[in-house]
Structures are given as structure tokens and as C-alpha cells.
Chains A and B, each alone.
Chain A
Amino acid sequence: MVLAYLDAGSGSLIVQALVGGAAGAAVATKLYWRRLVARFRRPQDSGAGTPSPQHTDRT
């Protein structure tokens, strides 16, 4: 992944989904649904591939 020179701020990235109209609302719903599901998932289920929301929430 290519990163910009500026640290955009994680919270500042997420909030854009919440102000981005209907398309943004769909993204936000999906994002938080995945996070919710991840909370109830057994720890061994989270693993390779796309970084798990669990990883990000618990750092």
C-alpha cells in the first residue's frame, strides 16, 4: 500500500464514511457490522488475509 506523506488520522478516515451520504452509510454499516461480528468470533478464526477488525481494536 502506498501511503501519503501526511498522517491522515485513523478517526479522520473513518468519520468520512459517516458523512459521505448514503454510500458512506452503507460503508459504515458494513464496517461496524464486521467489527461486531468479529467480537463474537472465536480468536482462532481471525488470521491471515485482510487485517481483522479485532487486530485494530485491540492494539
Chain B
Amino acid sequence: MSVSVSNTLSSLRRMDFWTLVTIATVVILFVLLILPIFSVFLVSFFDGKTGELTLDNYIRLFTKNYYISGFKNTIFVGFMGTLGATLIGVPLAFFTARFRIRGKALISTMAILVLVAPPFIGAYAWIMMFGSNGFITNFFASFGIITPTIYGAHGVILVFTLKFFPFVFLMTQTALNAVNKSFEDAAENLGCNVWQRFFKITLPLVFPAISTGAIICFVLSIADFGTPAILGRGFRTLSTIAYSAYTSELGGTPTMAVTISLVMMGISMLALLAQRHILAKRRYASSLTNPPVVKQLHGWRNIGVHVFCYAVVFVAMAPTLVVVYTSFLKTSGPVFIGGFGLQSYTRVMSDAPEAILNSFMFAFIAVMFIAIFSSLISYLIVRRDNAFSGGIDLMMMVPYLVPGIVMAIGFVTTFRTGWFDLTGTATIIIMIYFIRRLPYGVRSTTTALRQIKPSMEEAAVNLGANPLKAFVQVTLPLILPGLIVGSLMSFITAINELSSTLILYTAGTVTMPVKIYISVLDGEFGLAAALSTILLFSTGICVYVVFRFSENKESSFI
């Protein structure tokens, strides 16, 4: 008893800077993460009109046909999109990791550009190609050939496949490069032919990476709002249903929107848990004593592999190229009138300058805070091994899993109370960018910090620097590259964020992705294309900088 009391006393006496950081972090995570999610959770158990405690919302969701079909559709496109992404991502990874491919860096770069481009750009670029008035549709129509419509489930699946395959590709490629060649040599020595070796040894060894990539595809597909909203037409998924429920419930309590959002989150969590469970028994740590060999192929095999690789990345890049191209077409109002011109950009400057300004400002302010907190939080996670830091580490997974719509509705219900109302302000948007993109910064900084031996800081402390000084003078300079990469990743994802902004924005706080989304719905393709090009260009610059600062280029993006 007396021992434990004196322990508590002495640990209080030793309360230092990091104890304060821990407390601050826990408070921030509680207010910005736990409270909104909990409030969403709570709202789903109340009747929107009477305010009574009820399970009706869930009962309705699983009995009404409208919701059930949305549920099925979500699972269907999520699963098919993931399958598609895996089916093109794995071969691409294998070919680029094991065979000599010309322009390998170009393929990786294009895959990363696909990854960071705003998701809905793909959707509407496909409309511009294959939509009812798309140029490819029209081209074939002039020969009397009717191309299949892009609208509906298969369009959504196509976009998901081409949008999310880079996750599978980049993760599998990294894993393949880390497979000790001795395993494959041993298999061959024991009598496996090339195909048996691939399916019995190589594939199982990289399965954890493939499944991690696939699960990211699945979670993002489930949460994706822009693609089904633009391409779905009559085909509704839970995210579009939640959004329309939210807009129709506006003013009242968004109980139905909230309930749907929670089901979406539940699906993501189940998927993640299932993957974790499967992976639990598959940990293949091995040292890379015998690195894999890159083989030169010959003849038709060589040509075939090249054609496949370039076809995949070019088709995936096509929407982006179409968008850039479209932005330079001559327009009059919303109509393309043939030839090239800069009218779309002039219109951006006259119609939506605040969207550009807001996007940069919100993302920039959020990322400044992300940079500060990432460095502090990663320090807690890596260096302070206690229950709180473990809990914080775990909490950093949550923003990945919570769809933007859920988070945004949570913010509305939490930060619009009798005493204060943050809705409609820039602050609430910056806050949601901060919490949703914080994990990118934390992850990158944590990785950097793990490579720095604790003795570095101990040496500084031993030489008389207090813990804060040791951190600023020794640790921070050493993790700076990781911090910059993490901050840029946060910036890229924050500036491209649509789903949560769409719920939180007002006329004064419109951002580029929101403006693009509205323009697409209004048929203002020129304006949308010009804005998208600006967005792509800004993103591209960040990607370039990440490449410069990062040792492990591709894996910074996944």
C-alpha cells in the first residue's frame, strides 16, 4: 500500500513534458474522434421525430427494400472492385518485380498518380468518354455501333478497379522485392516448375501484403461516395443513400443517415477484423540474405508482359488525361464549342476563386497541426511504452476506417449544441481534415522514428538537455524527412477530400473537390475539368516532393 502510494507520488513528481503531451493528445482524440463517433452511434438508437430510444432505425434498414438493396449493392461493388483491383494489381506487381520492364519507374509513378488523383475525377472522366454524350460513345455511334453504357454497377466496379489497384500493386511489389530468393530456389531444387513455384511458394509468401492491399481497396470502395453518386444513376450504395438521407433530414436529427453510416463502418471493421484474423497465423519474417533476381524475358513473352503493364497504367491514367485535355477545350458557358481555349480556366477565376483559396488554406492549416501532432504522437507511440500510448496507437487506425460521411455527421451532431455552433465555419472543416488525415502523418513519422535508436535522445539528456530540448535538437532533425513525407501525404489527401466536406461546407467554405462535384452534377464539365487539373497539378507537385524526400518512394503512398 505505502509502496504504491509512494510510486504514484513519485510518478507525479516526475510529470514531464511528455506527460502533458499524452494528456493533450488523449483530450484531442476524445473530442475530435471518440465524441463524434459516439454521438453518431447514440443518434442511431433514437427515433428522429419523437426522440424515443428505439431500434427502429436498424430494423428499417434491414427490412425496407430500398436499404437492403443499397446494402447489397455496396457489398457487391466493394467486393467486385476489390477483386478487379487484385486481379490486375498482383500480375502487375509480379511482372515489374521479377522481369526487366522498360520504364519501370514510369509505371510506378503513374500508379501513384492514379492513387492520389481525386476519386470522383475518374468517374466523371469515364462519363466524358463513355457517357450518353461521351466522345467515344459518339465516335462509335457515328458508325452505328452502340457502346455499352457506363452508368450503373459495372461502371462503378470499373472505376473502383482502376482507381484502387495501385494499393494492391504497390504493396505486393514491395513484398515481392523482400522475398528471399532462397525460398524459391529451394522450391525449384525440390522439383517445382515455374508455375508450381509461384502458386505454392511465392504467392503464399506475399499473401499478407496482397490481402492488406485488398482490404484497403474494399474499405475505400465501401466508403466511396463520389463514384456511385456520379456513375450510379439508379444504382444506389449505402454512401449515396446516407447522403441523400442526410440532405432530406436536414434541419431534423439525421437518424437514418447516421444508422446507414454506422452499418458502412461496421462492414469495414468486419472486413478488417477478418483479414487480421486470417493474417494472425501468417507472419513470415525473414532476412533478405539472397535478394530476388530480375529476369530478362524474350520474344512474345517479353512483348506480352510489356503490353499488359502499360495497358493497365494507361487505361487507369486515361480519365486523368481526359480531364486535363478537356480543361483546355474551348467552351461557351457549359457547352464545348470545338477547338482549344482557356475559357474554363477564366471561368474558374471568375466563378470559383474562393474554392481554390479555401482548399489550399484549409489543407495547409490542417497539415500544420498534423505535422506538429504527428511528431509528438509518434514519439509517444514509439518511445513511451504505456497503456495510453498503446491506446493512442490503436486510435490512429480509426480514422482510416470511418467513412467521411460518418465523421462529418458526427461533427455536426457534436459541434452544434445549444451553447456553440461550429457548423458552417472553416474551423470545423479544418478540424475534420486534421483528425481524418492525422494518421498519415503519424504513420510516416512513426516509421522514421523507429529507425532512430533511443540512445540518441538518452545521450542528449545525459549531456544535460531536458526532454523537450532533446526532442527538438536531436530527434526532430532526424525524423524531418519522414515528417515532411507524412505531412505531404496528409496534404494530398486533405486537399482531395470530398465526402465529409460535402456535408460540412457552406457557400463561404466551398472547396475544389466540392466545386468539381457540383459542376459535374450541373453538367459544367469544362469548369470541373479546369478545377480538377489545378487539383491534379498541385497534387503532382506534392508527389514529386515526396519522391525527393523519401528513401522508399513507392511505399510512402500506401
| A and B: interacting chains | no
